[in-house]
């Protein structure tokens, strides 16, 4: 059975009866975890097993675990620095910064793979222009060349730990001030300006093995009237066509305020899938998930199914084995100086 193309969230640290039923639905292809789903390593490990048992088929288990402000699991996990710390390190020692980026990517991914989480939606490839508070220090740097260099090393570390990488937020969320969780950001720059700056990290990392992309809920008015995540121009013409990307396209959360420009949850899901998303996310709004399941014909195409299968985590050591690794301790020691 192919992986479904709808990712949902869970309400607590254990599964409810409704969630058990939802996970059995063939359209559900993934679960994204939040801080509310985590109490301890033991509890999370049990929850992951219960989720996989309820589904009885391959599921993509995901989390936003970038470091800094965005790290969902903290107790018993290494506290990860914001990616901007690597950019600051680069200013004084580029080689050491690249090495730290590799170790940080490996450490983040290794600790998640050790509890059977497939992917973290990372790294952020947005440029830090300054005004955007929602991006800010989640970005490696302002310069696309440095972002590309550090992100390339970070992704190499993720791959070494058995995790696929997701670059976000295509084609770039860093220039606009508004937070797409709360408003509808509009970027007034020309396509050429965006392509020559914000898109560069994506363009450079795609040939290096960038596995997935998450588009921004931002309207780039001079390119399309729809946010990038609902735009065939951005996802098909530019990302797949011009940049030659053949990995997974995840929608950003359809519950975000900026996604509302296309209508209700069913309309948002249909628009994202029609634009070219392989998997859509609907979080923190169970009624939205139910509306999508009730009103949208969800069917994973053979191409999407193949791409999504490639996102499943590769075999990795369990947590006990990980903590015995000298490399893990070396990575923790190095990263602690950046946090």
Q: How many CB atoms lie within 10 A of CB 301?
A: 12
Question: Residue 261 — very low, low, confident or very high, per pLDDT cuts 50/70/90?
Answer: confident
Rounded CA gap, 155 and 147, in Å?
12
DSSP string, 130-153: SS-TTTGGGSS-SSHHHHHHHHHH
pLDDT for res 177: 85
Rounded CA gap, 199 and 187, in Å?
14
- 181, 198, 224, 278: the active-site residue: 181
From the number of C-beta atoms within 10 Å of its C-beta (0-12, 13-18, 19+), residue 92 rates as: exposed
Examine the pLDDT at 262 and tell me if it is beyond 80: no
pLDDT for res 132: 84
* Exposure on the CB side of residue 330, measured as CA atoms within 13 A: 8
Q: Are 36 and 13 in contact (CB under 8 A)?
A: yes
CA dihedral 39, 43, 49, 54 (to 10 degrees): -70
Examine the pLDDT at 258 and tell me if it is beyond 90: no
pLDDT for res 277: 97
Section 172-197 average pLDDT:
88
Strands (E), 59-198: 60-63, 65-67, 70-71, 119-120, 166-170, 186-187
Rounded CA gap, 329 and 331, in Å?
5
Helix or strand run (H / E) with residue 327: helix 326-336
Section 91-115 average pLDDT:
98
**Both tokens of residue 21?**
């039923």
Examine the pLDDT at 216 and tell me if it is beyond 60: yes
Rounded CA gap, 278 and 249, in Å?
5
**Both tokens of residue 41?**
């390593």
**Both tokens of residue 149?**
């260099």
* 25: annotated active-site residue: no
For 48-69, the pLDDT digits (tens) are 999 999 999 999 999 999 999 9
Helix, strand, or coil here: 305? helix
Section 11-25 average pLDDT:
97
Section 99-123 average pLDDT:
98
Output the pTM of the full model: 0.96
Examine the pLDDT at 335 and tell me if it is beyond 70: yes
Lowest mean per-residue pLDDT among 71-80, 93-102, 249-258, 295-304? 249-258
Helix, strand, or coil here: 61? strand
Q: Are 140 and 87 in contact (CB under 8 A)?
A: yes
Q: What percent of the chain has pLDDT over 90?
A: 89
Helix or strand run (H / E) with residue 252: strand 248-253
Question: Residue 180 — very low, low, confident or very high, per pLDDT cuts 50/70/90?
Answer: low
C-alpha distances out from residue 204 to 30, 71, 75, 180, 208, Å: 28, 26, 35, 26, 7
Question: Residue 179 — very low, low, confident or very high, per pLDDT cuts 50/70/90?
Answer: low
Task: Name the average pLDDT for the chain.
Answer: 95
Rounded CA gap, 108 and 167, in Å?
15
pLDDT for res 334: 92
Section 114-128 average pLDDT:
98
Angle, alpha carbons 118-119-120 (nearest 5°): 145
- 118, 252, 253, 278: the active-site residue: 252
pLDDT for res 257: 62
């Amino acid at each position: 059975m192919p992986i479904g193309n709808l990712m949902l969230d869970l309400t607590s640290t254990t599964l409810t009866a409704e969630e058990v039923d939802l996970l059995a639905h063939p359209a559900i292809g993934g679960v994204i975890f939040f801080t509310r789903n985590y109490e301890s390593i033991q509890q999370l490990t049990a929850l992951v097993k219960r989720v996989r048992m309820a589904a009885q088929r391959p599921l993509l288990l995901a989390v936003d675990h970038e470091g800094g402000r965005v790290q969902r699991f903290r107790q018993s996990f290494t506290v990860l620095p914001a990616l901007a710390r690597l950019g600051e390190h680069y200013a004084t020692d580029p080689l050491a910064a690249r090495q730290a980026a590799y170790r940080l990517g490996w450490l983040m991914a290794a600790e998640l793979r050790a509890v059977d989480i497939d992917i973290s939606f990372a790294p952020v490839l947005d440029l830090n222009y300054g005004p955007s508070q929602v991006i800010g220090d989640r970005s490696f740097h302002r310069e696309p060349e440095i972002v590309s260099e550090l992100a390339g090393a970070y992704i190499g570390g993720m791959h070494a730990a058995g995790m696929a990488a997701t670059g976000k937020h295509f084609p770039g969320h860093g220039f606009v001030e508004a937070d797409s969780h709360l408003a509808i950001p509009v970027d007034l720059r020309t396509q050429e300006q965006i392509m020559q700056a914000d898109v560069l990290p994506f363009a450079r990392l795609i040939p290096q093995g960038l596995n997935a992309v998450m588009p921004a809920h931002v309207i780039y008015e001079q390119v399309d009237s729809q946010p990038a995540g609902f735009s065939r121009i951005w996802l098909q013409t530019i990302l797949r066509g011009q940049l030659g990307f053949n990995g997974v396209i995840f929608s950003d959360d359809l519950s975000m305020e900026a996604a509302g420009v296309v209508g209700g949850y069913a309309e948002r899901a249909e628009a994202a899938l029609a634009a070219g998303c392989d998997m859509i996310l609907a979080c923190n709004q169970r009624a939205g998930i139910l509306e999508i399941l009730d009103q949208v014909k969800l069917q994973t195409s053979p191409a999407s199914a193949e791409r999504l299968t490639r996102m499943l985590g590769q075999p990795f050591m369990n947590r006990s084995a990980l903590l015995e690794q000298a490399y893990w301790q070396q990575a923790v020691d190095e990263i602690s100086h950046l946090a």
